[in-house]
């Protein structure tokens, strides 16, 4: 074995593993509009990460119901396993379940094979609990690894990030700061990232996103924009010229645990 070639080989493997994480950078996301979640010009996709959480998710569901608005919830498997009733409720109320992994860990620092197993486990749980086969995958922290991308595609998931976020995880966040953070990106085709849980945020930070929802939805509607889940967003179709929004597919078994 050529020992001189070993460092170069290891560096190449590391680059292959970590390269997809560059999509976390705004400039890279702008260059990959489908991955960023750019959709139909008349629609804004509303998405939430890190639930379901019994302390906060029901409040978001109540408020979204009051506003007559649907959203996509990127669920953590470990949270859904503890609170399956919330997964069932969000689907019953017209929201879309999606996969955020099993635990909220950075894929770049997870040992080989674990991300693949945990994505598969999360897909199976979401399907079993809600009766809906998820369509989307967003990694924790928005950080993809080569393994995470491959595992998501193997399980039929479309990877998606966001075009604008509310920075609602901070202890200093409030409804006004969330609206200010989202404001520059609040346009047709946007995919908005908020959190319905403080599972990985400052305690109680979810209140900032919840408080911002009425004004956020109101601004979109005043601009003539529809607000809804990713399944109705037409991600990539404006670019590829494909037709019509997707609808969620019922899981083959349709059962719940």
Range of 13-27, 151-165, 225-239 with top mean pLDDT = 151-165
Cα gap 57→196, rounded to integer Å: 5
CATH of the domain at 92: 3.20.20.370
| Structural domain range at position 203 | 42-239
Is 218 a member of any domain?
yes
Considering the candidates 43, 49, 168, 196, report the single residue annotated as catalytic: 49
Residue-level pLDDT at 242: 37
pLDDT at 76 over 90: yes
Is 6 a member of any domain?
no
Q: What percent of the chain has pLDDT over 70?
A: 77
Q: How many structural domains comprise the chain?
A: 1
Residue-level pLDDT at 110: 67
pLDDT at 163 over 80: yes
Active-site residue 53, yes or no?
Answer: no
Backbone angles phi, psi at 159, to 5 degrees: -70, 135
Is 77 a member of any domain?
yes
Cα gap 47→210, rounded to integer Å: 12
pTM: 0.83
Is 23 a member of any domain?
no
Is 245 a member of any domain?
no
Active-site residue 195, yes or no?
Answer: yes
User: What are 191-212's pLDDT values in tens digits?
Assistant: 999 999 998 899 999 999 999 9
Closest to 135 in 3D by CA, of 43, 72, 41: 72
Cα gap 212→217, rounded to integer Å: 9
User: What are 80-112's pLDDT values in tens digits?
Assistant: 999 999 999 999 999 999 999 998 776 556 677
Considering the candidates 43, 95, 100, 195, report the single residue annotated as catalytic: 195
Return the higher-pLDDT residue of 5 and 163: 163
Facing residues of 46 across strands? 192
Is 31 a member of any domain?
no
Is 28 a member of any domain?
no
Residue-level pLDDT at 155: 94
Of 100-104, 109-113, 126-130, 238-242, the range with the lowest mean pLDDT is 238-242
Is 156 a member of any domain?
yes
Cα gap 154→46, rounded to integer Å: 26
207 class by beta-carbon count within 10 Å (0-12 exposed, 13-18 middle, 19+ buried) = middle
- For the chain, give the mean pLDDT: 83
User: What are 14-29's pLDDT values in tens digits?
Assistant: 333 344 444 545 655 5
């Amino acid at each position: 074995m050529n020992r001189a070639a070993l460092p170069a080989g290891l560096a190449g493997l590391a680059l292959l593993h970590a390269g997809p994480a560059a999509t976390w950078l705004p400039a890279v996301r702008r260059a990959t509009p489908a991955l960023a979640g750019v959709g139909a010009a008349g629609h804004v996709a509303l998405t939430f990460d890190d639930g379901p959480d019994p302390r906060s998710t029901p409040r978001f569901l109540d408020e979204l119901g009051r506003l007559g608005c649907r959203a996509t919830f990127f669920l953590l498997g470990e949270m859904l396993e503890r609170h399956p009733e919330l997964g069932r409720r969000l689907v019953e109320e017209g929201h879309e379940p999606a996969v955020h992994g099993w635990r909220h860990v950075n894929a770049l620092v997870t040992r080989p094979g674990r991300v693949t197993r945990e994505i598969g486990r999360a897909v199976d749980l979401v399907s079993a609990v809600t009766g809906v086969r998820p369509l989307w995958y967003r990694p924790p922290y928005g950080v993809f690894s080569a393994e995470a991308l491959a595992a998501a595609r193997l399980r039929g998931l479309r990877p998606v990030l966001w075009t604008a976020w509310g920075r609602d995880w901070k202890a200093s966040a409030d409804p006004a700061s969330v609206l200010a953070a989202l404001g520059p990106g609040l346009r047709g085709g946007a995919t908005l990232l908020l959190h319905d849980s403080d599972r990985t945020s400052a305690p109680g930070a979810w209140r900032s996103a919840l408080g911002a929802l009425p004004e956020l939805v109101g601004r979109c509607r005043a601009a003539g924009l529809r607000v809804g889940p990713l399944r109705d967003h037409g991600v990539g179709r404006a670019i590829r010229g494909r037709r019509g929004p997707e609808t969620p597919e019922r899981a083959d078994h349709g059962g719940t645990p």
